[in-house]
Structure 1
Amino acid sequence: MTIGDHLHALYRLPAHPFPGPDARKQNLPDADAVAWRITSDVYDAHENWTAAFARFCDAVDTTRVRALIVGAWEEAYDTDPSAVIEALVAAKDRFPALRALFLGDMVMEECEISWINQTDVTPLLEAFPDLEEFGVRGGSGLRFPALRHAGLRKLTMESGGLPAEVVRGVAASDLPALEHLDLWLGTPEYGGDSEAADLEPILSGARLPRLRHLALRNSEMQDAVATAVASAPVVARLEVLDLSMGVLSDEGAAALLAGQPLTHLKKLDLHHHYLSEPLQERIRQTLEPAGVEVDLDRDDADEDHDDDGTVWRYVAVGE
């Protein structure tokens, strides 16, 4: 599976594309009523992203803008968004109301997730101390050295493979207001070289006192993650635990059930899994009577079998 749809919303605001240079003149929505999506083209761009952003700044009252979605930039398969980040940082004083930012909203027709080039994205968080939501798509070249951000409430990193250095950077960051953390860990084939031990500072919860929604998903090591989560101190304060989109098997799910109680959760999301029917039934019988919403949809999870008996299982989003 790959990503086929652009973001529909950000910061609870509907996404709205800023018109291209050749679009007919049209009435624009109120600056604070939508999440503005600013984009170029990956292939044969007639206008680069920074030029589109400059037009946006001239056309919209940027002092009222609350959410920005960065779409494609030119040659994203070969070029990182340094110029995009520099333009946003240079314009920081023009966006006093900005509370949400997503970098790299591209679908497969534009650039497969594993092809998207990224870079150090922390200058954006440093430039916008009032940012409450930040998301990034693409793990190739992504960097996230540890930082402190007092206002961030939601952090999302979508990738086919999240570098271990990035996982460690997030884990070492001081994010006292963070309520929602979503990491797509991915596979080694696409750069996801982290191990369950890298998650320990996150699972301890020491730097995340307000965390309520934890998603560690799309992982080839989902059994190891589930085993680590089973005894993690942070779980006791969670409302949502999401271990979906990976190659979770009976081994990991059994370890999860054998660990600390999960009956306090509002939701356990395990969709796209490789669990047997008996194990699925155990999960339902354990959690649903306590009022926990359980997502056990298999989605399109499938497996291949070699002649030698080797079984190949796949994460939901890879290439």
Structure 2
Amino acid sequence: MIHEHLTEFHGLPVRYVGEENAPTAAQAAWRVSGDPYGDDEDIATSIQRLLDEVDCGAVRAIVVGTWGWAHDDDRADVPVRLLVEAAPRLPALEAIFLGDYVSEESEISWIGQSDVTPLLTAYPRLKRLDVRGGDGLELQPVEHAALETLRFESGGLPAAVVRAVGASSLPALRRLELWLGEEHYNGDSGPEDWAAIVAGAGLPALKHLGLQDSSRQDEVAAAVATAPIVARLESLDLSMGILTDEGAESLLSGQPLTHLKRLNLRHHFLSVEMSAKLQDAFPGVEVDLSDRQERDGEWRYIEVSE
């Protein structure tokens, strides 16, 4: 998922401005991108081409690719600012993916982000926001009536961003996915930062919760085991992290999870015996226990970090 550029987003094929046999504006997710090595078109020129050459009043989804060479500490404030300025010309925009860098262009934890709150305030009808990269990422508590999907992909999600999500009012949000990461890459959140999210006061419509890719996955499991929000979820995703038998025991001894349609624990460090106990404990639930990891000495690794 971070090794190839997106080919589909928001249920639409990703297309480029000016390519042959281009679809109508509403039938594609339009990719705007600069050269990550700084030699060719920059992100500002690419966004301007979209506005000039496509019926921008009908554009429903935009994928923002690279905007600079990550090692130069470039930030996403340029594409964020340009998209905010373009909001009056993009009245139909429903979805934004910010940071479609792949590993050959930048490791995920090197992608320089900025404050993404202005995207939500500039587009009150936005239904989906996906952000890749956590370095320099900021979010302020926000009220947004239309947002249905919010995703942060990172090797280290700052605690302040996690707290801002919990302090936001998102009455239409159905899907929330946070790649929490590890502290070495600024993933410094803990139970006190997750508390408002799992309490669920600002997320009355949530059906899918992902608290993933965490070096503290056992603590995440303990937090959700007694969390009020879990009773109204249809799917719970605790994948990609360092989940051990200790975290699994919390899930088994906590509130019932048999109402879930899906429980994703993929990429884990569970024993074979504990995996079998989980399968037996949740009949009728699709439990993904694939990609079992073996400890490398004393080391365990989350799936996505650098």
When the two structures are superposed, what TM-score results if normalisation uses the length of structure 2?
0.97
Query: CA shift at 1:214, angstroms?
Result: 0.1
List per-residue Cα deviations over 1:290-319 (Å, max 9, x = no partner): x211100026x34321xxxxx110000010
**Counterparts in 2 of 1:128 and 1:61: CA distance versus 1, 3 Å:** same
Runs of 4+ in structure 1 off by over 3 angstroms are: none
Matched, 1:304 2:296: yes
Q: What are the within-5 Å matches in structure 2 for residues 147-162 of structure 1?
A: 147-162=142-157
> Is 1:254–2:241 an aligned residue pair?
no
Residues in 1 aligned to 2:248 and 2:39: alpha-carbon distance in whole angstroms: 47
Per the alignment, residue 241 of structure 1 pairs with 236
Q: Distance in 1 between matches of 2:47 and 2:70?
A: 16
State the AA in 2 paired with 1:71: G
Letter in 1 for 2:86: A
Q: How far apart, in 2, do the equivalents of 1:298 and 1:86 lie?
A: 40
2:137 pairs, out of 142, 157, 160, with 142
**How far did 1:178 drift?**
0.6
SS of 1:312's partner is coil
**Contact 1:35–1:66 under 8 Å retained in 2:** yes
Q: Distance in 2 between matches of 1:63 and 1:87?
A: 16
Matched, 1:313 2:305: no
* Equivalent of 1:114 in 109, 113, 118: 109
1:293 correspondence with 2:286:
yes
User: Which deviations, in whole Å up to 9, do the C-alpha atoms of 1:280-299 show, x marking residues without a partner?
Assistant: 00111111x3x211100026
- Hey, what does 2:271 align to over in structure 1? 276
**CA–CA separation in structure 2 for the residues paired with 1:60 and 1:236:** 45
Of 215, 218, 221 in structure 2, the residue corresponding to residue 223 of structure 1 is 218
Contact 2:17 2:49 in 1 (8 A): no
Percent identity of the aligned residues? 51
In the other structure, the counterpart of 2:43 is 49
Q: Residues 39-73 of structure 1: CA distance to partner in whole angstroms, max 9, x if unpaired? A: 11111331110101111111100111100000001
Residue in structure 2 matching 1:64, options 58, 63, 70: 58
| Matching of residues 4-153 of structure 1 within 5 Å | 4-19=3-18, 26-77=20-71, 78-153=73-148
- State the secondary structure of the residue aligned to 1:106: coil
Amino acid at match of 1:286: A
Amino acid at match of 1:234: I
Residues 134 and 156, structure 2, Cα contact 8 Å, conserved in 1: yes
1:183-202 residue pairs with structure 2 within 5 A?
183-202=178-197
CA shift, 1:3, in A, is 2.1
Look up the SS of the partner of 2:102 in the other structure.
coil
Distance 1:240 1:228 in 2: 16
- CA distance, structure 2, for counterparts of residue 27 and residue 93 of structure 1: 27
CA contact (8 A) 1:3 1:317 kept: no
Is 2:257 aligned against 1:265? no
Instruction: Give 3-state SS (helix, strand or coil) of 2:263's partner.
Output: strand
Using the alignment, how far apart are the partners of 1:227 and 1:7 within structure 2? 34
Q: Is the 8 A contact 1:302 1:314 kept in 2?
A: no
Residues in 2 aligned to 1:224 and 1:6: alpha-carbon distance in whole angstroms: 32
Which stretch shifts more, 8-17 or 256-265? 8-17
Q: Distance in 2 between matches of 1:172 and 1:44?
A: 38
Q: Distance in 2 between matches of 1:302 and 1:110?
A: 29
Q: Which runs of 5+ in 2 are unaligned?
A: none
Equivalent position of 1:22 in the other structure: none
Larger CA deviation: 200-209 vs 77-86: 77-86
SS in 1 for 2:134: coil
Q: Give the distance between the partners of 1:302 and 1:118, measured in 2 at CA.
A: 33
TM-score normalised by the chain length of structure 1 = 0.93
- AA at the equivalent of 1:62: C
1:8 to partner: Cα distance: 2.7
CA RMSD of superposed structures (Å): 1.2
